[in-house]
Amino acid sequence: MTPRPSPTFEIDAEDVGWITFDDPDRSVNVLTEAVMLRFGETLDEARAAAREGRVRAIVVRSGKPESFIAGADIDVIASIEDPDVAEETIRVGQSIYNDIASLPVPTVAAVHGVCVGGGVEMALACDHRVLTDARKTTMSLPEVQLGILPAWGGTTRLPRLVGLQAALDMLLTGRRVDARKAKRIGLATEVVATGALEEGVRAVLRAVAAGGAATVGAGEGGASKAGGSKRGRRSLLTRAMDDTPPGRRIVLAMARRKVIQTTGGNYPAPLRILDLLRAHLGGSIEESLAAEAREGARLVVSPVCKNLVHVFHMREAARKGTGLEGAKRAERDGHGGDGDEVAPTREAKGRPVGVLGVLGAGVMGGGIAQLAATRGVRVYMKDIRHEAVTGGLQHAESLFDKAVQRRRMTRREATQARERIAGGLEYHGLSAADLVVEAVVERMDVKKAVLKETEAHVSDDCVLATNTSSLSVTEMAGALARPERFCGMHFFNPVHRMPLIEVIRGAQTSDRTVTTVYRLCVALGKVPVVVGDGPGFLVNRILGPYLNEAGFLLEELGSVERIDRVAKRFGMPMGPLRLIDEVGIDVSGHAGASLHEGLGERLAPAPLLVELGETGRLGRKGGLGFYRYEKGKEKSVDPELSSVLGLAAPKDGEGGRSGNGGPGAAGNNEDEAIRRRLVLAMVNEAARILDDGIVHAARDVDLAMIMGTGFPPFRGGLLRFADTLHARGILDRLRALHEALGPRFEPAPLIVRLAEEDRSLYDAFPETRRDG
């Protein structure tokens, strides 16, 4: 039997019309072009039924058990290049939603589960929104995270319904709102118990018929047939700021300042939302919707939108992957091959991890334990000292407390998660572990000894992993009787905040081991990237030249502020010198020395960084580095730094050590020269990484750099940005820097080849590698 097209329209015995979205080909409802056209047809049917007196109300619902509507089709957004086409597409969606708003009978959106983007805008076009109290029931407008704005009426209708300040919290951040908050701010008409959604909808319709709920609708300005908006309880000040022109001007000005401070102005969508609200919030719905379409169209075709959609697709591919995508037979079998793709076997699909062992109960071990327990995994932390185990448990406890304070967990959930963590000195606690991750001191001899001893106390099916950030996984595996069940699982610090995990494949690591660890990473809510074994792996190897170049620049220019400012204006979350402080001057120095040893003289540490390390300064954790810190918070650049390192005071963009003119960074375009050196140092090393087979696709580099370092998502990733410079342009710049500054800028062979072939990095290393 052929399934009926989604959505469907049916009228029940109580004369209620039900429009049901249930796409038979997808696990969630997506508003594709075909679905939207079919929705328009069902609305025509509903309007005819209302005019004929066959229905007294219309309800929009989902047939999916976990979600309402997951939003618009992102592939369509990615494909549109013409602003006129974009505007016409937006206007079609607006027209369909206007048809909901103009139906001659009451309309209700019955929401259970995730309601996103266009789904929220659909609900806003209805008179009422009834939500279940399920934890998974949330509403969000994440368009701004894709570089666009809610253009099917969301930017227009939401502030008219809930007030300007509550609306901005959703529009400018994409933040999810649960059912309880939705009711509090006036977004939800009613919240009902899970399992009682239909009954709750009928109760609201009875109240509407009796006149009791008719004042709760889609807002002012004719947005609601119900005749007005009954927002959540608001203070006198909130009402004054939301409902008066002077108050709105103040709110919008404050929001603009915050957006600029947070984004540096690099993301146009939130600024366009503010512009639109400033111009049209007090005006007509029609004019506001027209402005939505115009501004939305401009954003859809912008480079920032295309880059953010690219980042979204990278994240989704990682979330749905196995860790074996694109793996070559040479990587799997340890011998040369033709580069064909490897399909995961049944044995290679990996096993779920219900019990996790953690070796080492320090800050990293405690963070890993807390994360896993939060996700429902039982954890046993082992250390050699009772004090260490106690410290690890206390660190996990502090993270639970912070999660409760920030309302990311309830107290009950935190208590339940705490009970999943145990600790001790004995190995017997690891006997049931599905996976054990080692997080002890960063010394090869210690790690080998700990892993060898652990292997004797775990089951044959248990996977072993190391959290090393710099040591060879292949060498470490030499201590094990079964090296095939061992790999790297490099968490970034702090564990609870950093989304990236590098899954490091050693020479003998099996597919099953990779997929088991990869599967756990996804279950923990992290973004895994599988990388090969080599000095610095992926992220730290690229960061090494970047941080090192900052040291050379400081020696030449003498200005910490200027170097860090240029990097931040490019979009980095913090400058390279501030990052060295954050990582730890000692840790950064050790990593730099390891890269120098493993990769040769082109990564010889900048003398100034070596000299700084010898001063005993530790960075933020010690209160003093390039910057001064109080209680862990940055205060200012240390005024004594120049005298400590023998730097001349910066003057008119110059400075540095006496007699060092700083070739490559002087002149009127000095900021551009600084940026060029910092970014090209990373691009050049990333090209070498691809050539070395550490990762198989340019996408892997970009995803790892965004998730592991905060490389600006609006640029699409390091190598996507590099492709905008073109290989010939990169080669010319590198050759000039090589001539001026020496071997650290010697062009990578891959850059030379791509320039000769006139190819891009993404073309040469696509998602599916085409070797030969």
The CB density around residue 394, as the number of other CB atoms within 10 Å, is 12
Nearest to 387, CA basis, from 339, 425, 350? 425
Given a contact cutoff of 8 angstroms between Cβ atoms, the answer to whether 595 and 568 are in contact is no
Contact, 282 vs 248, CB < 8 A?
yes
d(CA 641, CA 630): 17
Neighbours of 348 (CB within 10 A): 20
What are phi and psi for residue 415, nearest 5 degrees? -65, -45
Element holding 452 (H helix, E strand): helix 444-455
Is the CB of residue 94 less than 8 Å from the CB of residue 49?
A: no
Which single residue is written with the structure tokens 């190819």? 759
Token digits for 708? 């592991």
Q: Are 434 and 354 in contact (CB under 8 A)?
A: yes
Using N-to-C axis directions, what is the helix angle for 154-162 and 268-280, rounded to 10°?
60
Q: Is 656 exposed, middle or buried (0-12, 13-18, 19+ CB in 10 A)?
A: buried
Concerning whether 490 is annotated as a catalytic residue, the answer is: yes
Q: How far is CA 175 from CA 138, 143, 267, 325, in A?
A: 10, 10, 16, 32
Can you tell me which residue has the tokens 């891009």? 760
Point out the catalytic residue in the list 128, 310, 395, 490: 490
Q: Which amino acid is at 494?
A: P
Rounded Cα distance, 581 and 629, in Å: 10
Strand residue runs (E) in 573-704 = 627-630, 633-637, 648-651, 654-656
> Pairing between strand 8-11 and 16-21?
antiparallel
105 token code pair = 């009978």
DSSP assigned state of 470: S
Residues involved in catalysis:
490
